[in-house]
Amino acid sequence: MSSSLLPLLSLFFPSSLSAVVTGQSSASPSNSSTVYDILQEYNLPHGILPDTVKSFSVASNGYFVIDLYGECYIDFKYVVYYAPRVSSFLVYGSISNLVGVQIRSFLIWYGVSYIKVDLPYSDFVYIQFG
């Protein structure tokens, strides 16, 4: 199984991704009220998640679970699929062990396993899939 790192500039310009989350974090670093606040605390752009987040939780070890109102597709430079439940581990500047997200490249769907941003912050998001 091969993997690629794909820089996606368009993830940083989510003009319609600003919905308020109905759930609260169970163990967030600073009691943030939305999932997008949590992403910001981890230096991640809020555009990496769709605006259909119903609830979320973050454990003290960084385990992150997001429930959406249903599956969805977002067309960035590539089409990205989000399952109704997405889980991962959050670390400052990255998301690892991602489950429930796929990206389509040339009619083939690949599971996304890792998302990373440059530190210090730049205009690139790197997505590892394979």
Please give the full DSSP string across 79-122, using - where no structure is assigned.
Answer: EEEEEEEEEEEEETTEEEEEEEEEEEETTEEEEEEEEEE-SS--
pLDDT number for residue 54? 95
Domains of the chain: 4-125 (2.30.240)
Percent of the chain residues past pLDDT 90, beyond the cut:
52
What is the reported pLDDT for 31?
56
- Summarize pLDDT for 40-98 with one digit per residue, the tens: 999 998 888 999 999 999 999 999 999 999 999 998 788 999 999 999 999 999 999 99
Taking only Cα atoms into account, the Rg of the chain, rounded to an integer number of angstroms, comes to 14
- Is residue 91 within 8 A of residue 76, CB to CB? The reply is no
Q: Evaluate if residue 30 carries a pLDDT over 50.
A: no
SS3 25: coil
Give the up-direction half-sphere exposure of residue 96: CA atoms within 13 A in the CB hemisphere: 6
